[in-house]
Amino acid sequence: MMNSRFATATLLAALGIASSSCVDKSTYYKIDDDVKAIADSIDNQDDLSHFYGGIVRLVAHDFMDYDAHGDNGMGSDGCIEFDHPTNAGLETVWCDDCEITKLYNKKYSHISKADFWIIAGNAVIRQTAIGDGLDMAGTFYWGRLDADQCSGSGDRIPVGTSCREVEATFLESMGLEWEDAVALMGAHTLGEAHDEFSGHHGYWVPPEESVIFDKRYYEELILRAWRPRKDGEEKQDWTSTHPDNPEPKFMLNTDMCLFYDIETSYPCCSRTDLFRSNGANRCDYEEDYSHTECMKYSSDSSRMAAVRAVVKFLGGTGPNSNQTPFYQAFEKAWYKATMNGADNLKPLKNSCSDSW
């Protein structure tokens, strides 16, 4: 008699719905090894940063369209509107000629794209975390179904221009807590923003560290003098580097909102107490912002939960290498986000021959 899980997968395939027949630990770690092989073949740091950040972004854009209150909940379903402006650039990560896509088609098409994307994202995070400190195999569950269409999903993806976007997407639609949202935003430590895709240009962390998954994002957020860039434009954001720097550091409004009340105090600079070697204030370049420091949230603001999370993820007072608070919170938040919208998921087994 045919095993029920394979019979179900066969029926779904006949209906045109991709699903995973089985995912065990061996397969999970083979995918991890294959992702590493692709990464090891990339000899340019910018390309490696794009590869790492792109895969994590692919996973995030698949789960950020979840809406617990919508008619079509969506979530991690292997479906992305690649032609939607909010997803611009992902077509350079998942395409016929993209290495990760070719890997999937050649070896893992028996697994749903939704499951495969998450495993690939987990692989990137494990490989780039400090000291192999974030292996999320224990919180990975498989069995997601791929959707054949997800019309309107792109409209649900935040674009980084409004402080309300974090609340609307992560808290209200996805049902997460502030600490979860802040932890997921920490994934910005990988990769960079490209002007041709998003209208933003730069790295959230120093370029050489954009291939490391750690808490540096939160350190940058509070230690740098962030000032408005492209003030008055649709793609206004923040920078802490010289205007002529070809590899600028930047933050989105949605990043800044985790710690600063920029809605109340804009235009402002996050740290007016920092100075360059020539004595000039680090808030002042094309325009002077040193006269107005970005305000902190009032003690009764709901966003103080985000501020507390940022402080927590710093790992302690003063310089330190404690990644544990961030890693633990990220794994919890990633689990919640990738589980949204899916039913009857199963944990990894030692072998697919194990009984269920």
pLDDT digits (tens, 9 = 90+) for 185-238: 999 999 999 999 999 999 999 999 999 999 999 999 999 999 999 999 999 999
**Which residues are paired to 142 by β-bridges?**
346
pLDDT at 304: 98
pLDDT tens, position by position, 88-113: 999 999 999 999 999 999 999 999 99
**C-alpha–C-alpha distance, residues 258 and 133, integer Å:** 25
Token pair recorded at residue 285: 């370049």
The 3-state DSSP class for residue 200 equals coil
Starting from the edge strand earliest in sequence, which strands make up the sheet with 227-229, in order? 227-229, 237-239, 250-251
For 75-92, write each residue's pLDDT tens digit.
999 999 999 999 999 999
Q: Which two tokens stand for residue 331?
A: 């794994």
Reported as a single tens digit per residue, the pLDDT across 59-72 is 999 999 999 998 88
Please give the Cα distance from 216 to 210 (Å, whole number): 9
d(CA 177, CA 4): 37
Cα 277 to chain center, whole Å?
35
Beta carbons of 240 and 221 less than 8 angstroms apart: no
d(CA 194, CA 87): 12
| Residue where the block lists tokens 């979860």 | 180
pLDDT tens across 282-338, in order? 999 999 999 999 999 999 999 999 999 999 999 998 889 999 999 999 999 999 999
Dist CA 19 CA 7 (whole Å): 12
Q: How confident is the model at residue 132 (pLDDT cuts 50, 70, 90)?
A: confident
Q: What is the pTM of this model?
A: 0.94
User: Could you read off the pLDDT of 16-62 as tens digits, one per residue?
Assistant: 456 778 999 999 999 999 999 999 999 999 999 999 999 999 999 99
Supply the pLDDT for residue 70. Answer: 83
Tokens for 310, please give them: 């940022």
At 40, which amino acid appears?
D
| Confidence (pLDDT) at 9 | 45
CA 351 remoteness from chain centre: 30
Which residues does 311 contact at the CB level (< 8 Å), separation at least 6? Answer: none
Q: What's the chain's average pLDDT?
A: 93
Residue whose pair of structure tokens reads 């990137």 in the numeric block: 124
What pLDDT score was predicted for residue 20? 79
DSSP H helices in 15-112 = 25-40, 45-63, 99-107
Phi, psi at residue 348, to the nearest 5°?
Answer: -60, 140
Judge contact between 152 and 313, C-beta under 8 A.
no
pLDDT of residue 15: 43
User: Residue 6: its pLDDT value, please?
Assistant: 40
